[in-house]
Amino acid sequence: MVRIPASLRRARAEPLGVSRGGLRPDGPAQRSLPLDPSTVSHIDSPGKVTLADKVGFLRCPASYTPAPARVTAIETHLAWVFLAGKFAFKLKKPVRQDVLDYHTRAARRRACLAEVRLNRRLAAHVYLGVTPLVRTTGGRLSLDGSGTPVDWLVRMRRLNARDMLDRRIEAGFVGPEELGPAADLLARFYRSASPVPTTPSDVIDRLRRTIETTREDLMSPLYGLPEGIVSRLADRQLAFLDERPALLRARSRDGRIVEGHGDLKPEHFYLGSPPAVIDCLEFSRQLRVLDPAEDLSLLSVECERLGHPEVAAFFFARYSEQTGDRPPPDLLAFYRSVRALIRAKLSAGHLRDEPVRNPRRWRARTLRYLWLSLHSLPTR
């Protein structure tokens, strides 16, 4: 029995943040603005157009055709997204991390093409293509014009944020009629997915590495998380791998490992017509190749955090109806616990930002995920 500290029991779901689901891309842009020579640096040689130059250009309504009344720019860790009228453009930052590498223009172009290709599996009408940001012979930036490409953007159709699942949950307007089309879309996706050849040891080793690295990260003194809880929680998850490996071996043996979505959060579900599931983990096939039950377990964690576990239960039920797959309850509990622990790690990672924005919010959310991870552990 793992004793749950009072700090975790008190952790509550905090208000929703900005939904990525409200983003959109696409809209040919021929107009251009002159570059400010004083801002040119060595970042993107040749061409020497800085990220600041690109963001400044894309913030301007005159850069798009037709010109929208306004452009809303949203910055994330890995990209800038520009909402321009009925469309949205995503500009990837020139960053390099453990699981991705966007530091060159060629790498960002490949990543944009992969993002469109992979997301069209569940959102074909949203992901419209890849467009070049070019520098003309006159030294101006232009979208879809003639010139030398200095970067590439994913073009998307802008979705109504009010129709994203997280917003519907927040507003209290969600039921079987609203969820059905999106649940059917996802179930059909899994039903038609080809099994990825893998061995049982591959599946177990991946989960073991994930748990161990997540524990190591969460144990950082920077986060100040409850002493011993993270370690004991990871120990219980690792013990499940040692004591119940047959459950995981059966999933591999039965061909249940597929190339899925990898990031099934409520803000990625569009409940309008036609429905869509956006923002898969395009940068890492390793993270997308998994059991659909594990993929859906993240949705379960997030819906419970928002106070509506019945929403994820509906998606699970529709998945089982259409695929005939009914994973063992203990395996589902294990997947939920692991996914919640990973979300705790990602949430805590915001405490490393410079500067840290709203540290109390991120600490509270991290504690909430730890509580969900503990609460989800299979009984012994």
d(C-alpha 164, C-alpha 166), whole Å:
6
pLDDT, one tens digit per residue, over 313-335 is 999 999 999 999 999 999 999 99
Residue 220: the pLDDT is: 94
- Fold classified for 164-376: Aminoglycoside 3'-phosphotransferase; Chain: A, domain 2 (3.90.1200)
Which residues in the chain show pLDDT less than 70? 1-47, 380
Q: Are 308 and 347 in contact (CB under 8 A)?
A: no
Cβ neighbours for 163, distance < 8 A, ≥ 6 positions apart: 270, 271, 272
Question: How many Å apart are CA 356 and CA 342, to the nearest integer?
Answer: 20
Distance (Å, whole) CA 262 – CA 303: 16
The Cα–Cα gap between 5 and 22 comes to: 37
Enter the DSSP assignment of 43.
T
B/e letters for 172-209, b = 16+ CB within 10 Å, e = fewer, are eebeeebbebbbbbbbebbeebeebebebeebbebbee
Sign of CA dihedral 307, 308, 309, 315: negative
8 Å CB contact between 8 and 371: yes
Domain boundaries for CATH 3.90.1200.10 within the chain: 164-376
Q: Roughly how many angstroms between the first and final C-alpha of the chain, as a whole number? A: 9
Amino acid identity of 86?
K
Question: What digits encode the pLDDT tens for the residues 84-103?
Answer: 999 999 999 999 988 889 99
CA pseudo-torsion sign 352, 284, 169, 156: positive
Lookup: tokens for 123: 């959102």
Predicted local confidence at residue 365, as pLDDT? 96
State pTM to two decimals: 0.87
Cα angle 158, 159, 161 (rounded to 5 degrees) comes to: 125
